[in-house]
Amino acid sequence: MKPRIGCLHAHYSNISYIEKTFSTVEAELLHFVDPALVYRVSSDESFSLSDAERKVKEQLVWMAQANVDAILITCTNYVALLQEDQLAITVPIIKIDEPFFNFVCHQDEEQLLLFTNPATVEGTMKRLNEYATAMGKQPTIEVRVIPDTFELIMQGQNEQYKHVLSEYLREVLAEGNGKAISVAQLSMVEAAKLVQEETGVRIGNPMETLATYVKCTPFKRQNNDTIITH
């Protein structure tokens, strides 16, 4: 029987990316989508950090009760809100940002890391710095938030979002500052891949690093039986 992987998304657009990533893996994907949390974190001042952390905990407990063998969190904002030491579940949790952090930490040149969601930046960079410190790395990173774009994806204007982001990436490459460029969010991957194909310049992204991780990692159940085969 195929293992069941519960996938937690902040937006429906992430589903297709994850389906492609796991296309060569023997696994059943069960998708859970909640865009309201990211919206409230970024726009509702009455919604506190502890409220957001509690909501993520509730979502993961709910998913674990759906008889999944592992949980994949595809939203970096959700990962940043995760309080794993307070989570009383035994289901393994795969965080989309950790393979990406590993990639970032192994780049030798200075890097430009792009975001569209400003609410994601602080938590993601905190986790990245902690990850780098644990590895004994000190990557030099410039962070930029592409203005007035994230609301497009939240409104379902996917093509406009892709267009605006692609134009920005072309402008960044035209600057010729010599920095390695990566996009930090899953929603940015399609535009990044388009511009990479046009220019031949590699643009790092979390889907590519997740795909590599999935291909190389023998995921296990709690009884140590392998749950994903390739």
Q: What is the CATH classification number for the domain harbouring 155? A: 3.40.50
> Are both 79 and 133 inside the same structural domain?
no
Q: What is the pLDDT of residue 4?
A: 87
Q: What is the pLDDT of residue 144?
A: 96
> Are both 24 and 82 inside the same structural domain?
yes
Stated length of the chain: 230
Q: What is the pLDDT of residue 219?
A: 54
Q: What is the pLDDT of residue 119?
A: 81
Tell me how far apart the alpha carbons of residues 98 and 131 are, in angstroms, rounded to a whole number: 8
Is residue 127 domain-resident?
Answer: yes
DSSP H/E element including 213:
helix 206-216
Q: What is the pLDDT of residue 88?
A: 81
> Are both 198 and 109 inside the same structural domain?
yes
Supply the CATH number for residue 30's domain.
Answer: 3.40.50.1860
CA distances from 70 to 5, 34, 110 (A): 5, 18, 35
Is residue 229 domain-resident?
Answer: no
Q: Which domain holds residue 71?
A: 4-96+210-216
When divided into structural domains, the chain yields a total of 2
> Are both 40 and 91 inside the same structural domain?
yes
How many Cβ atoms from other residues are within 10 Å of residue 125's Cβ?
Answer: 16
> Are both 112 and 181 inside the same structural domain?
yes
Residues of the chain with pLDDT under 50: 222, 229-230
pTM, two decimal places: 0.78
> Are both 75 and 165 inside the same structural domain?
no
Q: What is the pLDDT of residue 220?
A: 54
Q: What is the pLDDT of residue 133?
A: 95
The closest of 73, 74, 72, 70 to 91, measured between CA atoms, is 70
